[in-house]
Amino acid sequence: EVQLVQSGAEVKKPGESLRISCKVSGYRFTSYWIGWVRQLPGKGPEWMGIIYPGDSGLRYSPSFQGQVTFSVDESINTAYLQWSSLKASDSAMYYCGRQGPERAFDYWGQGTLITVSS
């Protein structure tokens, strides 16, 4: 069974750093792109970018380029989304997803809620 399990909710202050995780199981981690999606309250999802665990190939949306960093640890089948300096505007739900048939996300994590507030 394919599963993507994300790390828990976080409450941080502006300027702090953060890394959230997405641990996958049930398929070969290195064979599929993993994507990250932001969803602001009451809004549609936003595609942040994708990473290919097989060779760490990366594609960032221009809206998120330079604002976040994707990485993977192949030894533990885990993908990461990282911020070096959080802003209040980063408060949102973040999902990881496996890019499956064609380029749709066929499996999703349960989401990680990030709250940034002073």
Residues near another protein (CB under 8 A): 43-47, 59, 61-62, 95, 97, 100-111
Residue 113, classed as helix, strand or coil, is strand
31 backbone dihedrals φ, ψ, rounded to 5°: -105, -5
CB atoms closer than 10 angstroms to residue 90: 18
Considering the complex, state which of residue 55 and residue 62 has its C-beta at the smaller distance from another protein. Answer: 62
Least Å distance between CB 6 and another protein? 9
Considering the complex, state which of residue 53 and residue 109 has its C-beta at the smaller distance from another protein. Answer: 109
**Rounded Cα gap, residues 111 and 38, in angstroms:** 9
Least Å distance between CB 59 and another protein? 7
Which residues neighbour 37 within 8 Å (Cβ) at sequence distance 6 or greater?
Answer: 45, 46, 47, 48, 94, 95, 96, 97, 105
Considering the complex, state which of residue 10 and residue 46 has its C-beta at the smaller distance from another protein. Answer: 46
Considering the complex, state which of residue 47 and residue 52 has its C-beta at the smaller distance from another protein. Answer: 47
Least Å distance between CB 13 and another protein? 26
Least Å distance between CB 54 and another protein? 19
